[in-house]
Structure 1
Amino acid sequence: MRDHDQFGAYAAGLGAVLAWSTVATAFKISLAHLSPAQLLFWANLVSLAVLLGILISQGRLLETRAALRQHWRRSLLLGAVNPFAYYLVLFQAYSLLPAQEAQAINYTWALTLTLLSVPVLKQRLRRRDALAALVCYLGVLAIATHGKLFSLHFGNPRGVMLALVSTLLWAGYWLANTRDNREPVIGLTLNFSCSLPLIALWCAWRGELTLPSWTGLAGAAYVGAFEMGFTFVLWLFALKRAHSAARIANLIFLSPLVSLLLIHWLLGEAILPSTLAGLGLILAGLLLQKLPAPRALAH
């Protein structure tokens, strides 16, 4: 039975990683038919429906209502960060940058989380973390300048800035979650419930609260289900069932490579050598950060 559980955990983890590998391509396809705000509104709506469906199937809807009464302030605050601010900024970055650049820069969020933990959680910054940051952001520089590091000529400075801001928002959201005592799936459902009126107001203010084409709706539905909703639950299942959460977490390193292949095959983007080199540096920096600290020598 244990072997069966482990197979299920790895299958769920791999399924989540493969789903996340498709979203950069889905973002670009959807943004050809929707504005960033429209994509966020319809994707949020679909994601909320998916999450509520999961909770209903588990018989936990009343539990969710009770949690909303108790935690509505936290849910509104976190929902304003994710999905509202985070995805609005991220989708805007994707609308300005090639998918290969936006998705590679987005992978630096784990390092941003470590750096933000120093002032927010009062954690100590190891020399290895500082070196990992240098390696990762050299990778970002290589991608943003198309390999011309010393020229500092950015292909799209605003897009790069927004992609980096999105990593700050995502890392800040997960730091706030360290103090969140809500059950994860219920907490995410409440965040999406509270963010939906904010997104609707934003779209209405910009004159974008309109019914898009079926193509745009299909893209938003895919993003809502496989980036924001069901895949998160699948990932939580994998982490909960696995003997080693770290091994499951390492599957995420497959995602950028699979994502680049899909970007090339489905979007027709020529993958630049600078993107491969920059992504290699980013992954090297993240791996360096994950290596265990050397043990002190015995006297």
Structure 2
Amino acid sequence: MQQQKKAYLFGLSAVLAWSTVATAFKISLAYLTPAQLVLYASAASLMSLLLILAVQGRLGELPAAFAAHWRRSLLLGAVNPFIYYLVLFQAYSLLPAQEAQAINYTWALTMTLLAVPLLKQPLRGQDALAALVCYLGVLIIGTRGAPFSLNFSNLTGVLFALGSTLLWAGYWIFNARDTREPVIGLTLNFALALPLVLVWCALTGELRPVDLQGLAGAAYVGALEMGFTFVLWLSAMKLTQSTARIANLIFLSPVLSLVFIATFVGEPILRSTLVGLAFILGGLLLQKLPQKTAATC
């Protein structure tokens, strides 16, 4: 019971931290371009992960892990954090935070759909229905409550947001076969991705002085979204007696996120966002419902 209480504490702490990142993204992007935010947030995340390993006395494991897995680390690091966050932050720069974060929550369903061609898993009727419900929610959000008009408030931003779900879902599908220890693996991903981000910023003219407010925002994003929170969530999943109980805590995040967005970003929360988010969460819940099996004699 004591372990379960700790699991809830770690899980709720992670959810609370993740609930603030949409706000942090939007505020940081007022001072930084998407590429700059990826660069400085990735650097902050790498430092936080190295600090975690130092506290755990495990920094010495990195050289051997790098020698054995540098190709995988480079490939996965190119996807996350480099390309994924570049696309995600572009979505946040084009859309209101409330819309970008709501659409981003469809990634779990996207992973199920990608598993059909990539892992040859069958698509259940329940999953297909969940997809229709979720993407109707995206349509409601993207058209500001007029889904049948197909008149998107910012189609490019919506496409970037949906593209980010493809990248994130694909990353976790391939990451499922990763034999590296999670914190070591994530640290190597960021260590090898950082030079890629640096080269990208140099080629696109993004290496220029930035405001301290932007650096502070990037440090918060890197530590919370990409670093410490990941370890909190892993700890919760290891301690819990029921993975489902902890996993279901994530449904609190989009609701809390809207509160933070309204309070700190100052966005009036649109009715279309609330309705669309309800469809998205409803679709995700529908996907998680246990499927009835035929009785056997």
* TM-score (ref. length: structure 2): 0.99
In the alignment, is residue 132 of structure 1 matched against residue 134 of structure 2?
Answer: no
Counterpart CA distance in 2 for 1:80 and 1:32 is 25
Counterpart CA distance in 1 for 2:160 and 2:91 is 5
> Could you say which residue in structure 1 is the equivalent of 2:227?
229
> Could you say which residue in structure 2 is the equivalent of 1:209?
207
Equivalences, count: 297
> Could you say which residue in structure 1 is the equivalent of 2:293?
295
Q: What per-residue deviation string (whole Å, max 9, x for no partner) do you get for residues 66-92 of structure 1?
A: 100110000000000000000000000
> Could you say which residue in structure 1 is the equivalent of 2:100?
102
> Could you say which residue in structure 1 is the equivalent of 2:29?
31
> Could you say which residue in structure 1 is the equivalent of 2:172?
174
> Could you say which residue in structure 2 is the equivalent of 1:78?
76
Offset at 1:298? 4.4
Offset at 1:210? 2.5
Q: What per-residue deviation string (whole Å, max 9, x for no partner) do you get for residues 101-154 of structure 1?
A: 000000000000000000111101000000000000000000000010111000
SS in 2 for 1:22: helix
List aligned pairs for 1:1-299, cutoff 5 A.
3-299=1-297
Q: CA RMSD in A?
A: 0.7
Counterpart CA distance in 2 for 1:57 and 1:26 is 27
Q: What per-residue deviation string (whole Å, max 9, x for no partner) do you get for residues 137-172 of structure 1?
A: 000000000010111000000000000000000000
Counterpart CA distance in 2 for 1:228 and 1:132 is 28
Identity value in percent = 69
SS in 2 for 1:113: helix
Counterpart CA distance in 2 for 1:31 and 1:239 is 32
Counterpart CA distance in 1 for 2:277 and 2:63 is 43
Counterpart CA distance in 2 for 1:67 and 1:298 is 49
SS in 2 for 1:153: coil
Counterpart CA distance in 1 for 2:204 and 2:147 is 38
Following TM superposition, where does structure 1 have runs of at least 4 consecutive aligned residues deviating by more than 4 angstroms? none
Counterpart CA distance in 2 for 1:207 and 1:196 is 16
* TM-score (ref. length: structure 1): 0.98
Counterpart CA distance in 2 for 1:28 and 1:65 is 36
Counterpart CA distance in 1 for 2:244 and 2:64 is 33
Offset at 1:211? 3.4
Unaligned runs of 5+ in 1: none
Counterpart CA distance in 1 for 2:206 and 2:114 is 34
2:138 maps to amino acid = V
Counterpart CA distance in 2 for 1:199 and 1:211 is 16
Q: What per-residue deviation string (whole Å, max 9, x for no partner) do you get for residues 253-290 of structure 1?
A: 00000000111111111111110000000000000000
SS in 1 for 2:147: coil
